Structure 1
Amino acid sequence: MSLAKDNNDLAAQANNAGNNSLFEAQYEHDLEHKEVEGLDADAPLTLRALVSTKEAGVIIGKAGKNVADLRDQTGVKAGVSKVVQGVHDRVLTVTGSIEGVAKAFSLIAQNLLDNPITSSPPGTPLNALQPVAQTSSVRLLISHNLMGTIIGRQGLKIKHIQDTSSARMVASKEMLPQSTERVVEVQGSIDAIRIAIYEIGKCLVDDWERGVGTVLYNPSAPRVPGAGPGGYAAGGAPAPGARTNNYTSRTGNGSDFTRPRDESQFRPRPEPAFGQNTANLRTQEISIPADMVGCIIGKGGSKISEIRRLSGSRISIAKTPHDESGERMFTIVGTLEANEKALYLLYGQLEVEKDKRMNLSGDHIIEDDEE
């Protein structure tokens, strides 16, 4: 049975839960939620969701009041990725205990229900479920490798989550651009969303190893035809409308990994003469998941040495993660063209590794109903 058909059939069976609670009363009611046997509600969990720019404004509130209140009420850490010009989606990240994260998303859903957004953003990656009266929805970002954990064999796990919570759930068939994440939309009453996310969180914590190496989705402006990584054309000049260099590729969480076209265009270049024409040198930084660093360095440093040689840029790698995400910073120094070639090759190596991991995990995702 295909994943899309499986989820649509299951979603059709789900019923909406009862009436919504008040925003403040909901949090107190959530303290009594102990429905999953053996659940460690204090287990750490980071859960990401897609929100529109307008929804992000509601979630953050004036001068950050709403998100600050959310942190105080639930004990979670919560934040929204920066605005990207021309992009209508942002990433909401919530970190805390399973219980705290579930409560946080229920309060966010209630807040969005109380402050409705009248129009849907164009270009939404998933054909969203159409909310009905007194329901809200959350678009969770879930690693492709963890979809099997949530769906379960023959779809039994996702059916259990929907039956337990009375929420509707539907998963996108494709991964989001330049990532290994997919969208799982959860729709229902505020309490239904809380219970569903509680159950989903338990699945993710129990099987966290499968999520290692996930390439996180970062909303970014569409690339122009023929453009390489960072919006640059094959010759190294900025493509029309593209942002120039001197930027950090990490926008929110994770990195923007782009498939290379033909590496034959990159011929060995001499190291930049750092004692001369230093005004032409650019410094760029990209953040790479720690477990992906090895595939870039290669055995005995062979791969990173080749990237340095082909691009002509100097590339240094931080020895330790630069923040709580566990990612490590790569610093690239060279001319604009050299840096662009270095990025192109780095992203290509990451894409190759991503494809390898997807192929290894593919048999866990889609159940085959042929007998």
Structure 2
Amino acid sequence: IREHIPSQDGALVSLPLGMEPTKVQSEGGLNVTLTIRLLMHGKKGETVKKMREESGARINISEGNCPERIVTITGPTDTIFKAFAMIAYKFEEDIINSMSNSPATSKPPVTLRLVVPASQCGSLIGKGGSKIKEMRESTGAQVQVAGDMLPNSTERAVTISGTPEAIIQCVKQICVVMLESPPKGATIPYRPKPASTPVIFSGGQAYTIQGQYAIPHPDQLTKLHQLAMQQTPFTPLGQTTPAFPGLDASPPASTHELTIPNDLIGCIIGRQGTKINEIRQMSGAQIKIANAMEGSSERQITITGTPANISLAQYLINAR
């Protein structure tokens, strides 16, 4: 969630809610706090610590055992440029080191992937591609804006490659564009997924496949799945009492209502309803999405089914 704060020169500055804009006078006049997100692979804890100290920028790395991590760099623009310079030179150093062991003679360019709200990508590309062409020509860096949004988000990957110097110049130009045209509406940030392993349900337990082995998968879904398994109405032959004492053979269907902001409803419904149908199938619940009411920024979702169906449907909707 972002709030827009007019800066002294009248431009809107977009900040994650709760972050104070810090006004830092620098030789370039007003220096505005900006947040830039990067996608990276691997762990470089030591390096990051050094970069924080030397650049003065706030650098955070997303948690998790994902092959991809999100690096968030926040600070006055000059500290962001310092941090980027350090990252670009570090990447170049890694390339040089890896080349000393390989027969390749031409040095591959340094490549960085930024994560940018899709609503700002139009300004980066410019009318008929004019802005991105100007960036390529003036910096010598290659700039590519992905055509599709990153999974489950409203952000796109912007890939920059070239020499460290070209990359730094290019990041400076991108920062200017991002400050001039803040994101519109709510941004759903991209969160890298853990290296996905398929989950298999068997006997009320979920397993993930690792190599040739099925390993029990401790997850919320398992608990919900076990609940669903227990509440499946089944009567063993010749037995008319409920199979589980204290549980009716078929639990009464109940109804649960949710409200979802209009701008998020699209990612729940999916293209031509694919996602919502998937959720209906997986949860076994009936899900109705009310039409948008005039003047309301929210949509009503009604879920009907057994308590287990409902909790699984809720879980899957929240996950979306």
Deviation at 1:299, TM superposition (A): 5.7
1:91 aligns to 2:76 (yes or no): no
1:281-310 alpha-carbon deviations (Å, 9 max, x no partner): xxxxxxxxxxxxxx9xx9698737x45x76
In 1, distance between residues paired with 2:48 and 2:195?
A: 29
Task: Give the % identical residues.
Answer: 22
In 1, distance between residues paired with 2:297 and 2:112?
A: 45
Shift of the 98–266 alpha-carbon distance from structure 1 to 2, 3 Å rule, reads same
Residues 67 and 195 of structure 2 are in contact (CA less than 8 Å); yes or no, is this contact kept in structure 1?
Answer: no
Shift of the 136–345 alpha-carbon distance from structure 1 to 2, 3 Å rule, reads closer
Q: Superposition pairs for residues 70-85 of structure 1, below 5 Å?
A: 70-84=51-65
Task: Specify which of 133, 158, 164 is matched with residue 107 of structure 2.
Answer: 133
Task: Specify which of 193, 206, 209 is matched with residue 238 of structure 1.
Answer: 206
Deviation at 1:147, TM superposition (A): 1.1
In 1, distance between residues paired with 2:188 and 2:205?
A: 27
TM-score (norm 2): 0.58
Identify the residue that residue 263 of structure 1 maps to in structure 2. Answer: 280
Shift of the 118–143 alpha-carbon distance from structure 1 to 2, 3 Å rule, reads farther
1:214 aligns to 2:214 (yes or no): no
Task: Specify which of 286, 300, 304 is matched with residue 303 of structure 1.
Answer: 300
Deviation at 1:99, TM superposition (A): 2.4
TM-score (norm 1): 0.51
SS at 1:51 equivalent: strand
Q: Superposition pairs for residues 288-327 of structure 1, below 5 Å?
A: 303=300, 306=302, 312=307
Q: Number of aligned pairs?
A: 224
1:197 aligns to 2:171 (yes or no): yes
1:262-299 alpha-carbon deviations (Å, 9 max, x no partner): 5372159xxxxxxxxxxxxxxxxxxxxxxxxxx9xx96
Deviation at 1:199, TM superposition (A): 0.8
Identify the residue that residue 143 of structure 1 maps to in structure 2. Answer: 117
In 2, distance between residues paired with 1:78 and 1:134?
A: 26
- Counterpart of 1:238, as a letter, is A
Residues 47 and 94 of structure 1 are in contact (CA less than 8 Å); yes or no, is this contact kept in structure 2?
Answer: yes
Residues 311 and 341 of structure 1 are in contact (CA less than 8 Å); yes or no, is this contact kept in structure 2?
Answer: no
Choose between structure 1 and 2: higher strand proportion.
2
1:216-257 alpha-carbon deviations (Å, 9 max, x no partner): 1111136567xxxxx687x996364555129xxxxxxxxxx7
Q: Superposition pairs for residues 47-62 of structure 1, below 5 Å?
A: 47-53=36-42, 56-57=43-44, 60-61=45-46
Residues 67 and 194 of structure 2 are in contact (CA less than 8 Å); yes or no, is this contact kept in structure 1?
Answer: no
Q: Superposition pairs for residues 273-284 of structure 1, below 5 Å?
A: none
Deviation at 1:152, TM superposition (A): 0.3
In 2, distance between residues paired with 1:109 and 1:342?
A: 43
SS at 2:83 equivalent: helix
Task: Specify which of 17, 27, 31 is matched with residue 42 of structure 1.
Answer: 31
Choose between structure 1 and 2: higher helix proportion.
1
- Counterpart of 1:166, as a letter, is G
Identify the residue that residue 313 of structure 2 maps to in structure 1. Answer: 341
Deviation at 1:153, TM superposition (A): 0.3
SS at 1:219 equivalent: coil
Deviation at 1:105, TM superposition (A): 1.2
Residues 180 and 214 of structure 1 are in contact (CA less than 8 Å); yes or no, is this contact kept in structure 2?
Answer: yes
Deviation at 1:181, TM superposition (A): 1.8
Shift of the 143–243 alpha-carbon distance from structure 1 to 2, 3 Å rule, reads farther
Shift of the 96–236 alpha-carbon distance from structure 1 to 2, 3 Å rule, reads farther
Shift of the 300–91 alpha-carbon distance from structure 1 to 2, 3 Å rule, reads closer
1:12-59 alpha-carbon deviations (Å, 9 max, x no partner): xxxxxxxxxxxxxxxxxxx98x6xxxxx66222111111111xx32xx
SS at 2:189 equivalent: coil
In 2, distance between residues paired with 1:300 and 1:163?
A: 43
Instruction: Provide the aligned C-alpha RMSD in A.
Output: 3.9
Residues 46 and 95 of structure 1 are in contact (CA less than 8 Å); yes or no, is this contact kept in structure 2?
Answer: yes
In 1, distance between residues paired with 2:311 and 2:279?
A: 17
Identify the residue that residue 275 of structure 1 maps to in structure 2. Answer: none
Residues 280 and 313 of structure 2 are in contact (CA less than 8 Å); yes or no, is this contact kept in structure 1?
Answer: no
Shift of the 101–343 alpha-carbon distance from structure 1 to 2, 3 Å rule, reads same
- Counterpart of 1:106, as a letter, is A
SS at 2:31 equivalent: coil
Query: Which portions of structure 1, spanning 4 or more consecutive aligned residues, are displaced by more than 4 angstroms?
Result: 222-225, 298-302, 309-312
Unaligned runs of 5+ in 1: 1-30, 35-39, 120-130, 226-230, 247-256, 269-294, 313-334, 349-371
